[in-house]
Structure 1
Amino acid sequence: MQNALGNIGDTAAMPQHQGRVPRIFQEYRNHFGLLWRVMLPVIVVSLVFNSTFFLVAKLANPEALWRLSTSGNITAFGQLSATPIGVHSSVGFHGATFGIGFLWLAMCPLSLIIIYQHREKNVTFGEVWRLTRRKALSILAAWPLMLLVMGAPVLILIFIAGVLEAFLIQGTLMGPALLPTLIAGAIAVYFLVKWSLYNQCIIIENLSIVAALRRSSELVRGRWGQLFSMYLLLTLGTMVFTTAVFGLTLLFFSVVASEFAPLREVLQSGKFFGLFVGGQVQITLPDAPVWGIGVMVTLNILINAILAPIWAIVTTHLYMERAGTPEQAVSV
């Protein structure tokens, strides 16, 4: 096991004649069982944490307003909130449809599985997590460090946008406030793509956090635009899949539960198809049923678990294509 990753060059030279998308799904299908077994601890932790959080919120304030949306968002508001009750439609991309929550913590073990399979080495659930556990501190600390580096300029620009909106434009001219917001978003996207291979650098090359971020930057250099376009397509696919699942779920709720009946007319109209191009339908209830919240929480986690291996396969393939000669890789 110690030398299983000693030669990344062989994996980097894998055949490219097969289309990338078919290759991703073929690999997902071939290793489906092992991928899900490795994710199981993170799925359980995510389910326990989220269920406990929303259950406590529900019990602590039984009169709170609850908003459920086709983007997967679940939000609670205080009784005195000015949030209107009922169905509301909006247009715009919503962050909840893009991420995979706690399942980002499974990226390193998933990447190990993919690497071992390409090396034609057998690996067990226990071995993967044993190797991952050695780098647990780096894995957990990576995101706070990245947010710290990205956060300073982004927060400054968002603050400037808020000041401009409050004191200069009075809601009549969006340009001055919109520009800093767009710049902040561009900075965040730049660093996210630049550091997108850090998981593989930590777990495969046994690097520290800072070294992994530097290594990821080296691997991405010269291919930033290509990686960005791939991540953008995958993100949009994630959004469409997530929106479809939650849209159909809320439509089902509207049929079987009277509390959700107002959603039926909206989701059975043309607005349902608008969900796939950035639309969102949400319902705010004075007393959302616990079972409805529970189903939405569980679906969120299952969707994240479905998507996590796809992200892991894509980023690990990109890593293997860019990792270079065997001497550049360090055995875990």
Structure 2
Amino acid sequence: MNDSPGWATPGSSPSDGEGSPGTQPPAGGSGSDSKWSAEQPPPGQWSSPTPGHTPPNPQQPPAPQPGAGWGSYGTGPQNGGPNGWGAHTQAVKPGVIPLRPLGLGEILDGAVSTMRKHWRAVLPITLIVAVVVQLTSVLTQKYLFADLVVDASGSGTGKEELESFGSMIGVSALDGFIQLVGSIVATAMLTMIFSRAVLGHGSSIGAAWREARPQLLRLFGLTLLLGIGSAVLFGVLVLPGALAGQAALAILGGFAALGVILWLWIRFALASPALMLEQTTVRKALVRSSKLVKGSWWRIFGITLLTGIITTLLSALIVLPLTVMGALVFGGGLDGMADGTGATSWGYLISVGIGGVIALTITMPVQAGVTVLLYVDQRIRREALDLELARAAGIENYGTTTPPTGG
């Protein structure tokens, strides 16, 4: 066990159906949030609680208050979890989150706390990516979109309008590809920073890059696979009705496609941190995410949706005033925006770009952090990852306190 991201070797977790070397599988069923972990260290590094056993030089957790449970709140009996002897008490908190199952507020607070405590590593990454993305967007709109405006008067031929529309799609695809690459790099590096923040360890941009670089191509492949898979699924369910000229059938297929895509998207929501932190393959990361999300789909959906709403509103509060100011001051007002000249003026584009840089710099770490902490939370609930995290954080004898006896 060390303090490197991942905290466990790929494929050694109980959700993969394999125990680590020298361990026994859990006696209970699989997939339950309250089962004891099969992810235990090799013999000699950690001893499970046994009556009358006192480990050498123990560091006891805080004494429980009257009426409270015994120990910290985790997933196993040693932590007073659902199958333990007590209820929620103060948990060990070496980093930005306590080592127990997390609530919504704790996940959001952990993401924001990491930004605040480790801003020297977090903000430069997101700022650089945001500047590159917005600069590309500004130059694209200024020098390419300005020449690809479809003639609204109807004087152009259908072929010319089709070519212009195709060129516009190509430029948009190029712009989107650059944004995709930037977001993947930022997500990979931020994942490493958040993994260390959970342990209370700092990180640097160079260290985050070195740890993330080996998995970047796989993360890129994972992102493309999810995107292409969603597009193919949508086409399969919508095209039959569209080709048959049945609008109702096409609309019904569209709703069905959106539902299936949403379900799959949440089911694979934890694939990215699993890929990066467990140093695994794309296929294994998808399987890991599916098993970790199983039984908690609605909870993860709700937290992901709420995070998206919060970051969207925050972005709107930043971007919208600068967009309106740019349109009124530099874009010629409503007339300039209506005829398309204002939307390609330097003043307007720069105003919108500045707003986009600020918004991305702030919201990107929040979204990445929530995803990483959801992954950590699910592993604590299902695999008692708090034991591994405590050892990686240097907390000795965590979880070895003998439970109270008697009624």
Distance between the aligned counterparts of 2:358 and 2:241, measured in 1?
36
Q: Does 1:43 align with 2:127?
A: no
Tell me, what secondary structure is at the counterpart of 2:144? Answer: helix
Partner amino acid, structure 1, of 2:348: G
Counterpart of 1:13, as a letter, is: L
Query: Structure 2: which amino acid aligns with 1:316?
Result: V
CA distance in 1, matches of 2:104, 2:310: 21
Q: 2:195–2:372: 8 Å Cα contact kept in structure 1? A: yes
Q: Distance in 1 between matches of 2:267 and 2:300?
A: 9
Once residues 6 and 312 of structure 2 are traced to their aligned partners in structure 1, the CA distance between those partners, rounded to angstroms, is 37
Structure 1 equivalent of residue 176 of structure 2? none
Higher relative contact order structure (alpha carbons within 8 Å, sequence separation ≥ 6) = 1
Tell me which residue corresponds to 1:116.
196
Supply the distance in 2 between the matched residues of 1:17 and 1:112 (Cα, whole angstroms).
22
Conservation of the 8 A alpha-carbon contact between 1:198 and 1:215: yes
Q: Which residue of 1 aligns with 2:288?
A: 215
Matched ranges for 1:197-236 at <5 A: 197-236=270-309
The CA distance in 2 between the partners of 1:195 and 1:313, in whole Å, is 16
User: In the alignment, what sits opposite 1:52?
Assistant: 139
TM-score (norm 1): 0.70
1:237 deviates by 2.1
Aligned to 1:311: 367
- The separation in 1 between residues aligned to 2:279 and 2:325, in whole angstroms, is 47
- Secondary structure of 1:135's match? helix
* Pairing 1:27–2:100 present: no
Q: Does the Cα contact within 8 Å between 1:250 and 1:260 map onto a contact in 2?
A: no
Paired position in structure 1 for 2:167: none
Amino acid at match of 1:284: A
Distance 1:177 1:58 in 2: 31
Per the normalisation by structure 2, the TM-score is 0.58
Instruction: Note the aligned Cα RMSD (angstroms).
Output: 3.3
Please identify, of 189-198 and 22-31, the stretch whose mean Cα deviation from structure 2 is larger.
22-31
- Report the Cα offset of residue 108 of structure 1: 1.8
Once residues 253 and 235 of structure 1 are traced to their aligned partners in structure 2, the CA distance between those partners, rounded to angstroms, is: 26
Corresponding residue to 1:157 among 237, 255, 266 = 237
Aligned partner of 2:256 among 171, 183, 208: 183
Q: Which residue of 2 aligns with 1:78?
A: 150
Q: Which range moved further: 243-252 or 11-20? A: 11-20
Matches within 5 A, 1:99-178: 102-163=182-243, 167-169=245-247, 175-178=248-251
Equivalent position of 1:279 in the other structure = none
**C-alpha spacing 1:30/1:300, structure 2 compared with 1 (3 Å):** same
The amino acid across from 1:226 in the alignment is R
Percent identical pairs in the alignment equals: 17
SS of residue matched to 2:5: coil
Q: After TM superposition, give the deviation of residue 241 of structure 1 in Å.
A: 2.5
More strand by share: 1
- Identify the residue that residue 4 of structure 1 maps to in structure 2: 4
